[in-house]
Amino acid sequence: MTIGRKLSEYDKSIERAEELATEYSFAAKPLLFYRQILIAQKQLYSTLIKTLGKEPTSGKGGELRGQLDLAVLLPNYLNFLSVVQENAPEPLARAAEELSRQGSNEWTRLLGEYWALGGMPDENGVSRSSEGLGALREFLARGFLQGYAELAAETFPEPAMDATPYICPKCDSLPVLGVLRPEGDGGKRFLRCAFCSHEWGFRRILCPACGEEREDKLPVYVAEQFPHIRVECCDTCKHYLRTIDLTKNGNAVPEADDLAAIPLTLWAQEYGYKRIHTNLLGA
Ligand SMILES: [Zn+2]
Ligand SMILES: [Zn+2]
């Protein structure tokens, strides 16, 4: 197990966010904000590696979402909140400022709630944290804990997969994205977890929200502007998954490219499709 592998991935994402901000000027603002978040996340991630080493507290006891290591996390939270405060659009910046004033009891409560429920579906398949916390507060917890969750997932043993799981086999969260990775002459589809970023293999012709497998119920929309991004819809449950096709563009970085694709969010809304789980910026 190579711990620290992710640090170079942060650099790749930061670079890609800069590239995309130039290429898609309409998405420059959110992409440059995301870049600031990535820089803060990378810094936190390297602190976590040093402090937690190869064994983050979570992961012990057979559960990825074990005890949150607040002694390590809380001293870093104020810095994250001030990065958001300085770079985010108005309502989010204000929420960060308010939370930074509220102090550590409130931080503990928010982070604990997200850690327990983040990305997990309720009985209707809706993320319990998105619904319970609201978009702004969810961001303030999710953006901060993402690296911690990824580190926990990296050190968490690969679960045995006997079926095609619709939620993350490591942490039970909904998928945020699909990723098509080159394999043979085509691409193999993976689902990427909204909470811990773990990827697991998933059949290409199968709705990850309701299990529909009839091809004529699963239309795929690709815009000229984003030839490497597929909007994979389901006409049975009206959900969609956005899939980054790395066979079409090997330079794409799924999370960053997804944030550039604002017109695809608008398109899906117009046609009445709902995303299975929103991305970090709530789109
Ligand atoms: Zn997960
Ligand atoms: Zn469906």
Query: What is the CA(33)–ligand 1 centre distance, in A?
Result: 24
Ligand nearest the Cα atom of residue 274: 2
Cα separation values, 223 from 66, 175, 185, 190, Å = 41, 22, 23, 21
Query: What is the CA(22)–ligand 1 centre distance, in A?
Result: 31
pLDDT of the chain along its 283 residues, tens only?
Answer: 455 668 899 999 999 999 999 999 999 999 999 999 999 999 999 999 888 865 555 544 558 998 899 999 999 999 999 999 999 999 999 999 999 999 999 999 999 999 999 999 999 889 998 888 999 999 999 999 999 999 999 888 888 877 889 999 999 999 999 999 999 988 999 999 999 999 999 999 999 999 999 999 999 999 999 999 999 999 999 999 999 999 999 999 999 999 999 999 999 999 999 999 999 999 9
Per DSSP bridges, beta strands 239-245 and 175-183 are parallel
Report yes or no: 243 and 279 within 8 Å, Cβ to Cβ: no
Residue 229's φ and ψ, nearest 5 degrees, are -125, 125
pLDDT of residue 231: 98
d(C-alpha 5, C-alpha 13), whole Å: 13
Number of residues that this document lists for the chain: 283
pLDDT of residue 3: 58
Ligand nearest the Cα atom of residue 232: 2
pLDDT of residue 248: 97
Ligand nearest the Cα atom of residue 159: 1
pLDDT of residue 158: 83
d(C-alpha 162, C-alpha 59), whole Å: 21
Token pair 């040093």 is at which residue?
A: 50
Query: What is the CA(26)–ligand 1 centre distance, in A?
Result: 31
Ligand nearest the Cα atom of residue 170: 1
Ligand nearest the Cα atom of residue 196: 1
* DSSP, res 198: -
The tokens of 39 are what?
């820089």
pLDDT of residue 216: 98
pLDDT of residue 56: 56
Q: Whole-model pTM?
A: 0.94
Ligand nearest the Cα atom of residue 176: 1
Query: What is the CA(113)–ligand 2 centre distance, in A?
Result: 28
**Cβ of 215: how many Cβ atoms within 10 Å?**
10
